[in-house]
């Protein structure tokens, strides 16, 4: 039995969708906080189990009879380490053999507060737990680009604090397909994989692609973090969110998200979505 946590969220649900294409529903379990959000999974025959990452005894119960767990990391700005430790401890107690954890890619030593700090603590805890582990160092989602630079085609300029830094963006559905493939194949014991796109793009590259698609010049200007935060706050974002978005700029600038690996491409059996394809579909379809 494979259990996927975060099954009512994007990555968890999409991973189950891919698992269902190769694995009988009776061998798939979904961990959810709210069963009312998982009626579609119940209808498909997936074994839906309820527990919050903070509810240790519910987790132990939910993990009964499970061989592999995909722990979809908890959201930022919560006590991620406490939640992840609970899940790991409960997995040990319930007799789970192998736990996969969704970390964020870190191609340099840059430590991003709220994200990398808790990933590092979780990975260390998992490695010391006695469970067989697989660490998935997920690239930055293409779907997150809009949060950084806006969801409309820029008029003439992208203003973001990433300097010359690059990001090896990856579509979340392609991460889910890759994750499902890793969960259902052998040879991933105590391994770590970077699950990134096959190419990394700077914000100059993004501006160039926007220019080609829009048929007008669009430039990239690297601005300092304080200006970016002020710009986002003026656009209505809470300051804490604006700060968080600026941190992704700093992470990109420091190369944290720039490394590429062919694991996603290899397991998909095709090139992952390119920047041009993503921008075309997301910003220009229907225009
Ligand atoms: N690589 C990237 O670019 C990127 C971007 C964003 C996030 N992430 C990280 O990757 C994870 C998965 O991404 P996603 O897009 O699938 O996020 P998402 O759509 O927000 O899904 C998060 C899932 O985790 C569940 N969850 C959160 N806290 C929980 C708790 N205390 N107990 C049980 N379940 C809990 C949520 O349950 P509910 O449905 O009940 O809320 C939801 O199902 C995120 O949680 C975050 O750590 C990565």
Regarding the beta carbon of 36 and ligand 1, being less than 6 Å apart is answered no
Regarding the beta carbon of 118 and ligand 1, being less than 6 Å apart is answered no
Q: Are 161 and 224 in contact (CB under 8 A)?
A: yes
Residues 255 and 205 in one domain: yes
Q: Which helix (H) or strand (E) holds 116?
A: helix 116-127
For residue 204, the domain's CATH number is 3.90.25.10
Detail the DSSP E strand segments found in the chain: 2-4, 28-32, 47-50, 68-71, 98-104, 132-138, 157-160, 166-167, 191-195, 201-202, 219-222
Residues 235 and 123 in one domain: no
Query: If you measure from the C-alpha of residue 51 to the centroid of ligand 1, how many angstroms do you get, rounded to a whole number?
Result: 14
Regarding the beta carbon of 142 and ligand 1, being less than 6 Å apart is answered no
Residues 15 and 55 in one domain: yes
| CA nearest to 112, candidates 156, 165, 186 | 165
Range(s) of the domain holding residue 128? 2-138
- Matching residue, tokens 């601005």: 223
Instruction: Please count the structural domains in the chain.
Output: 2
End-to-end CA distance of the chain: 45
Query: If you measure from the C-alpha of residue 102 to the centroid of ligand 1, how many angstroms do you get, rounded to a whole number?
Result: 10
Rounded alpha-carbon distances, angstroms, from residue 168 to 36, 40, 104, 138, 202:
36, 33, 12, 10, 9
Residues 39 and 99 in one domain: yes
Q: Are 183 and 100 in contact (CB under 8 A)?
A: yes
For residue 8, the domain's CATH number is 3.40.50.720
* Domain assignment present for 190: no
Q: Tens of pLDDT along the chain (287 residues)?
A: 999 999 999 999 999 999 999 999 999 999 999 999 999 999 999 999 999 999 999 999 999 999 999 999 999 989 999 999 999 999 999 999 999 999 999 999 999 888 999 999 999 999 999 999 999 999 999 999 999 999 999 999 999 999 999 999 999 999 999 999 999 999 999 999 999 999 999 999 999 999 999 999 999 999 999 999 999 999 999 999 999 999 999 999 999 999 999 999 999 999 999 999 999 999 998 65
Residues 11 and 144 in one domain: no
Residues 132 and 7 in one domain: yes
């Amino acid at each position: 039995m494979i259990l996927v946590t975060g099954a009512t969220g994007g990555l968890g649900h999409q991973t189950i969708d891919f698992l269902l294409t190769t694995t009988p529903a009776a061998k798939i379990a979904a961990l959810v906080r709210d069963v009312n959000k998982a009626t579609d999974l119940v209808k498909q025959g997936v074994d839906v189990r309820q527990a919050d990452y903070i509810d240790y005894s519910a987790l132990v119960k939910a993990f009964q009879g499970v061989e592999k767990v995909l722990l979809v990391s908890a959201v930022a700005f919560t006590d991620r380490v406490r939640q992840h430790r609970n899940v790991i401890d409960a997995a040990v107690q319930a007799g789970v053999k192998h736990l996969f954890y969704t970390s964020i890619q870190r191609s340099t030593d840059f430590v991003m507060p709220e994200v990398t700090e808790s990933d590092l603590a979780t990975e260390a805890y998992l490695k010391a737990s006695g469970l067989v582990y697989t660490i998935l160092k997920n690239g930055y989602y293409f779907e997150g680009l809009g949060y950084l630079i806006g969801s409309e085609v820029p008029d003439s300029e992208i203003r973001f604090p990433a300097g010359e830094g690059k990001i090896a963006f990856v579509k979340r559905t392609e991460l889910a397909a890759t994750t499902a493939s890793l969960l259902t194949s052998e040879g991933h014991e105590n391994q770590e994989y970077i699950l990134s796109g096959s190419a990394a793009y700077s914000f100059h590259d993004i501006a160039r692609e926007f220019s080609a698609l829009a048929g007008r010049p669009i430039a990239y200007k690297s601005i300092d973090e304080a200006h970016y935060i002020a710009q986002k706050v003026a656009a209505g974002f809470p300051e804490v969110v604006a700060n968080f978005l600026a941190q992704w700029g700093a992470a990109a600038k420091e190369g944290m998200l720039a490394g590429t690996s062919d694991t996603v491409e290899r397991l998909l059996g095709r090139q992952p979505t390119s920047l041009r394809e993503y921008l075309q579909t997301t910003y220009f379809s229907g225009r």
